[in-house]
Structure 1
Amino acid sequence: MNLEMRESVGETLGVLETAALLREVTAGLIGVNDFDEALGVVVRIANDAVAGASWCGFTALRAGEPAGLAASDQRLAGLDDLRHGPDSPAMQAIRRREMVVSEHLGRESRWPDWTPRARELGVWAVLSAPVDVDEQVIGALNLYAGAADVLAPRHQLTAMLLAEHVGLLLAAVRDRARAAVEAGQLDAALLGDGVIGQAVGVIMTQRGCRAEEAMDVLRSAATSLSIPLREVAERLVSTVSRPREN
């Protein structure tokens, strides 16, 4: 196989690997509502899927303050933690909104406090890609290598595509989390309505389920019957309260 053909095959494999990585991340986050849990999923999948990267981390900021972090190896979690100071590749990527790469930390001078800690942990190369989540949260996806000069241009392309994709998925996670909170607040208000609270209690007793599940049953009945939730509750309470005929 000549050089040109080998390069063509390598590019094809790289595209396929990246596509598989994006699909796996999507599948991993599609049902997640917790932001910290989502960060954990991202670093685990990226660490397993990106060849050449020994570890993966994620740094998040909300309104300029640390909002979360995750690491594929807890020994390295401090490298992603901005509470140790702003002197890091992740913070530089976040501030400049551009990818930051150091292929050999032995020759690095940009982060005089961070670099010695990274090298003590066995990190010899780093790549940080900025991640835009929403108007409140920004972050950086950090890939670490245990050897120098192994983070090639293809890693930069993969990290860029992954960062853009992850930003969209994390925004959806935050939207679902907000919706869940709002739904919980709405449910609490509805349970304060006497007849709806009574109906929920009836369903809980009949089915042996939690209040949230009973509320879902009540909502489903209202939808299928095309009548207001309160009317469904009134009918149910009226039915169970009706004296039985002898």
Structure 2
Amino acid sequence: MRTTTAPGDALGVLETAALLRELTAGLISAADFDEALAQLVRTCRAAVPGVTWCSVTILQAGEPASVAASDEPIRALDDVQYGDDGPAITAIRERDPVFVPDLAGSGRWPRWTARALALGVHGVVSAPVDIDDQVIGSINLYARRPGAFRDRQQLTAMLLAEHAGLLLAAVRGRVRADRAQPQPVAPGDEEVVGHALGVIMTQRGCPAPEAREVLRGASRALSIPLAELARRLVDSVARHHPG
């Protein structure tokens, strides 16, 4: 999408560098993907002039996965888009930014717009975010005042979306790698893990190394700590075979 930028709307080099540095620092330090989304919302809301609220809409494998929002009413507004078209879903579907400086004068998304205006939302910018082959989304900036958004905010949203996509992909990759690492077992948990390995060996007729890989694989797939999964397995066997 081509935009015409007035001189007063141009992004300064130092301002842009500071914004991207803040975004990078916040996202790479996030413990998981949801925390990274929350940090992205906080950064966008605080750093972009004219923004009253901010949200990030995420779709995974084509289905709604999550919404991070600066305020609960905005989260609910984004949820409406899963059943009705709206700027976030439009931006994701068309892979092009959506820019509406005054919703009251727009005829797009009638049901969504009515909900937005009732919440005091009068301007919106949604920019698509490409994360990886499975996950896409959009950054959504909302303004309380009509006309608060100009080309400056649209360009900033596009820049944030492009940079955030790379960072969020890195966070997802790091989380997957962390889950794939063998989990250490505390000394006090070694006995229950040993019992669980015995159960697996008996059920599968396999040696201990293979049983350990089965337990580790299940732990990663279910995102349950190894010792906790072992305890659940042992407890389940005890319930079904008392005595």
TM-score normalized with structure 2 length: 0.70
CA distance in 2 between counterparts of 1:40 and 1:67 reads 14
CA distance in 2 between counterparts of 1:155 and 1:83 reads 22
Q: CA deviation at 1:83?
A: 6.3
**Correspondence 1:112-131 to 2 at 5 A:** 112-131=110-129
CA distance in 2 between counterparts of 1:182 and 1:48 reads 35
Contiguous gaps of at least 5 residues in structure 2: 1-5, 192-243
2:155 to 154, 157, 175: 157
**Contact 1:134 / 1:171 at 8 angstroms: preserved in 2?**
yes
CA distance in 2 between counterparts of 1:14 and 1:71 reads 27
Q: CA deviation at 1:180?
A: 1.4
Structure-2 residue corresponding to 1:187: 183
Q: Which has the larger radius of gyration?
A: 1
Large movers: runs of 4+ above 3 Å: none
CA distance in 1 between counterparts of 2:127 and 2:75 reads 17
Structure 2 residue identity aligned to 1:67? A
CA distance in 1 between counterparts of 2:15 and 2:53 reads 18
Contiguous gaps of at least 5 residues in structure 1: 1-5, 199-246
Given the alignment of the two structures, is residue 40 of structure 1 paired with residue 38 of structure 2, yes or no?
yes
The 1:100–1:83 alpha-carbon spacing in structure 2 relative to 1, beyond 3 Å, is closer
TM-score normalized with structure 1 length: 0.70
Structure-2 residue corresponding to 1:53: 51
Aligned residues: 184
**Contact 2:84 / 2:112 at 8 angstroms: preserved in 1?**
no
State the secondary structure of the residue aligned to 1:44. Answer: helix
CA distance in 2 between counterparts of 1:156 and 1:14 reads 15
**Correspondence 1:38-187 to 2 at 5 A:** 38-81=36-79, 84-183=82-181, 186-187=182-183
The 1:84–1:96 alpha-carbon spacing in structure 2 relative to 1, beyond 3 Å, is closer
> What value does the CA root-mean-square deviation take over the aligned residues?
2.2
**Contact 1:36 / 1:69 at 8 angstroms: preserved in 2?**
no
State the secondary structure of the residue aligned to 1:101. Answer: strand
Q: CA deviation at 1:82?
A: 5.5
2:28 to 27, 30, 36: 30
Q: CA deviation at 1:90?
A: 0.2
Q: CA deviation at 1:14?
A: 3.3
Structure 1 residue identity aligned to 2:69? A
**Contact 2:45 / 2:54 at 8 angstroms: preserved in 1?**
yes
CA distance in 2 between counterparts of 1:102 and 1:149 reads 9
The 1:51–1:91 alpha-carbon spacing in structure 2 relative to 1, beyond 3 Å, is same
Given the alignment of the two structures, is residue 17 of structure 1 paired with residue 15 of structure 2, yes or no?
yes
